[in-house]
Chain A
Amino acid sequence: MKTNRILPAIFLYGSLGLILLFTCIPIYLMVKIAFADPGAFMNDQAFEFTFEHLKAVFLSGNLWPALRKSFTVACATAFLSTLIAAPGAYVLAKIPGRTGYFFLMAIFFTRMFPEVGIALPISLNVARLGLFDTDAGLVLAHLIRVLPLVAWVLIGTFKSLPKDIEEAGRMDGCSKAQVLWRIVLPVARPGIMVGLIFGFLNSWDEFIYAAYLSLMNKTLPLTVFYYVNRGGWFLSSMYALIVTIPVLFFTYFFQRYLQSGYLSGAVKG
């Protein structure tokens, strides 16, 4: 009888350990290199801790413009994609049967092309609008990438909203618009938050569109690449670490919205 409990435990902790190994080792290496003393590190000597690279990054003058651009673009992309996707997702969620699924597939169709391929024509169009190397231009490009994802998250959210709640709202005296504003939006808030986080993170670490559409005004991932290209391992790692921190922060801060059970209590038991 005992093996019945030991075997699942081995599978569980074994696979967990493997997953952790694969996800944590790169992060460990990144942090280590970002704070490593170059001399000791290059000569295979023991690890020596230094703030040298951090100082260099702060003093280089390359950090703030890149951080500002990445942050602005990511926020605008997250906000706009949610704003644009939400009404459509609500309607798609209400369409019965497979029609909604067909539309969702159509939305995702745009994502089936490799970005490397379509980034050039898109960049040309953005440039024609006079938005080359601007925040707005990159936001437009990122929306192409982010909108389907956000729409997908929101369709799931709106689908999980019980129809009864909206009807109860109508009975209690809401007009159709009031149902949306006073019931659907507050109840769907966790899903909308997830949509925002998705939008932010997908724009934050986006590389290809940024590479095509930036010249002077680099984003953070571009800056990481810039230093890799120049063989600046240590600065590159430090930038990578700086790119990582907001991701950690957001994920931690919004994780409560990812928890299930927010809707419980609305219908049945």
Chain B
Amino acid sequence: MAHLQFRHVAKIYGKGVRAVDGLDFTIPHGEFTVIVGPSGCGKSTVLRMMAGLEDLTEGEFFMDGVVMNPVPPQKRETAMVFQSYALYPHLSVYGNMAFPLKLRKMPKDVIDRRVVDVARSLDLESLLQRMPRELSGGQRQRVALGRAMVREPKVFLFDEPLSNLDAKLRAETRIEIAQLHRRLKTNFVYVTHDQVEAVTMGEKIMVMKDGRLRQYATPGDLMRRPADCFVAGFIGTPPMNFLTMHIEQSKDGLYLTSGRLRIMATPGHVRRLVRYKKNEVIVGIRPKDLYLKRLRDDLKPDEDMQSMAGRFILKESLGDDVLYYLDVSPDFDKKQTMIVKDDAAADADAGEPLDVCVDAKKIYLFDADTEKAIPVQEEGVE
């Protein structure tokens, strides 16, 4: 277990390319942390800086309060599982797993016991004498995991360890790694570009983009209170719909309008928009909070359920659910597509008008310029 802290960390390559910038965070003891983001966002760089494989250009990295910057990788108590597995092809499974212990000059019987124990827990006992080339992808993955485990490190680092496995094996290994964390209770830092993997595995998730940390929160908080449009759009499938809407003050209340759509702001929204001085706002709506009106005869448009007109483009079946892609452009020169997720199937022709209901309570509000979430105003705070 360890306490990991990044303070003002930046990584600058060559001619001032800031791969990672302004990183400030603290990971508490024993947390399963997932770093997620699109490719090139710097997530692997962060992991490699923790491992010591990459130098920090600026700032400091502390582990349990000790500055790790000058410590070479072999002296850090971190183990890493690589995307490519990186097994030693000239050593057997046993040799691969015993390698880190042999380097530490442990007595032979201790090495033996540890390797066999770990191999048993990973179901590798019968494969100990095999060479890596004789193993399947999933087995290699487990050997790589075992090689990290025998050392009993303070921190496990995972660099997209599942991306070379097929879907079924990936799901299984995901569960295995999560269980492993529950059992070992050490820090896991797990890098992935797959937000589903992040949300299902992580206790807390760091969402990164363009070398910066956008939000560091629990999966639930990321869903409920995304810090900005990027996080809101990145976490959750299908992605959130965004509409730029005008704020209109009329005598019976505050309205958000965009062409044919008018949403009456709920009291909660009104409170949040009190200090917001601009007249445009980005509204985020998750596909699951949208309904097709024709499938929902029981829904009566009221303050919360409001409808807008759209035109059907295509639908996509997910098995249980159906995704409807609708064109809700307010005028012809601005294309605006929306995704609606509904559990019932409706038939429609391309271009056919379809009304969509919005659950107004569940919309998200973002600043039209900074794309940051508009915060809830604390009462009594000036």
Which chain B positions have C-beta within 8 A of A175? 72, 74
A226 within 8 Å of B (CB atoms)? no
Q: How far is the CA of A117 from the CA of B338 in the complex (A)?
A: 77
Which chain A positions have C-beta within 8 A of B88? 165, 168-169, 183, 186-187, 266
Q: With A170-B52, A172-B147, A261-B133 in contact, is A162–B90 under 8 Å at CB?
A: no
Which chain B positions have C-beta within 8 A of A167? 51, 53, 73, 80, 82, 86
Determine whether the beta carbon of A265 is less than 8 Å from that of B80: no
Which chain B positions have C-beta within 8 A of A168? 80, 82, 86-88, 147
Residues of B266-302 whose CB lies within 8 A of A: none
Give which listed residue, B52, B79, B103, B136, contacts A174 with CB less than 8 A.
B103
What residue in chain A is nearest B87 (Cβ atoms)? A266
B375 within 8 Å of A (CB atoms)? no
1/0 contact string of B83-125 vs chain A (CB within 8 Å): 1111111100000000110011000000000000000000000
Which chain B positions have C-beta within 8 A of A267? 82, 84-87
A10 to chain B, nearest CB (A): 36
Which chain B positions have C-beta within 8 A of A183? 88
B131 within 8 Å of A (CB atoms)? yes
Q: How far is the CA of A96 from the CA of B86 in the complex (A)?
A: 20
B187 within 8 Å of A (CB atoms)? no
Which chain B positions have C-beta within 8 A of A264? 89, 132-133
B151 within 8 Å of A (CB atoms)? yes
Q: How far is the CA of A211 from the CA of B83 in the complex (A)?
A: 55
A5 within 8 Å of B (CB atoms)? no
Tell me the interface secondary structure of chain B in the complex: loop
What residue in chain A is nearest B165 (Cβ atoms)? A269
Determine whether the beta carbon of B89 is less than 8 Å from that of A266: yes
B79 to chain A, nearest CB (A): 6
Determine whether the beta carbon of A171 is less than 8 Å from that of B84: no
1/0 contact string of B132-165 vs chain A (CB within 8 Å): 1111110010000001000100000000000010
Residues of A247-269 whose CB lies within 8 A of B: 261-269
B5 within 8 Å of A (CB atoms)? no
Q: How far is the CA of A265 from the CA of B87 in the complex (A)?
A: 7
Chain A contact residue count (CB 8 A cutoff) = 27
B78 within 8 Å of A (CB atoms)? yes
What residue in chain B is nearest A263 (Cβ atoms)? B89
1/0 contact string of A37-50 vs chain B (CB within 8 Å): 00000000000000
Give which listed residue, A169, A172, A268, contacts B85 with CB less than 8 A.
A268
Residues of A171-203 whose CB lies within 8 A of B: 171-175, 178, 182-183, 186-187, 189
Q: How far is the CA of A162 from the CA of B90 in the complex (A)?
A: 13
Which chain A positions have C-beta within 8 A of B100? 172-173
Q: How far is the CA of A187 from the CA of B132 in the complex (A)?
A: 13
What residue in chain B is nearest A167 (Cβ atoms)? B53
B368 to chain A, nearest CB (A): 43
Determine whether the beta carbon of B74 is less than 8 Å from that of A174: yes
Give which listed residue, A171, A172, A182, A262, contacts B89 with CB less than 8 A.
A262
1/0 contact string of A143-177 vs chain B (CB within 8 Å): 00000000000000000001011011111111100
Which chain B positions have C-beta within 8 A of A266? 84-89, 132
Name, among A165, A170, A264, A265, the residue most crowded by chain B CB atoms within 10 Å (CB to CB): A265
Q: How far is the CA of A187 from the CA of B82 in the complex (A)?
A: 18
Residues of A217-269 whose CB lies within 8 A of B: 261-269
B98 to chain A, nearest CB (A): 10
Q: How far is the CA of A168 from the CA of B74 in the complex (A)?
A: 10
Give which listed residue, B99, B131, B151, contacts A265 with CB less than 8 A.
B131
What residue in chain A is nearest B89 (Cβ atoms)? A266
Name, among A162, A175, A263, A267, the residue most crowded by chain B CB atoms within 10 Å (CB to CB): A267
Q: How far is the CA of A169 from the CA of B80 in the complex (A)?
A: 10
Determine whether the beta carbon of A187 is less than 8 Å from that of B90: yes
What residue in chain A is nearest B164 (Cβ atoms)? A268
Which chain A positions have C-beta within 8 A of B133? 261, 264-265
What residue in chain B is nearest A171 (Cβ atoms)? B80
Chain B interface residues (CB < 8 Å from chain A) = 51-53, 72-74, 78-80, 82-90, 99-100, 103-104, 131-137, 140, 147, 151, 164
A-B contact pairs, 5 of them (CB 8 A): A167-B53, A171-B80, A174-B74, A183-B88, A269-B137
Given contacts A168-B87, A268-B137, 10 further A-B contacts (CB under 8 A): A162-B86, A167-B73, A168-B80, A171-B53, A171-B80, A172-B79, A173-B103, A261-B133, A268-B84, A268-B164
Give me the 3 closest cross-chain CB pairs, A-B, nearest first: A265-B133, A265-B132, A267-B84
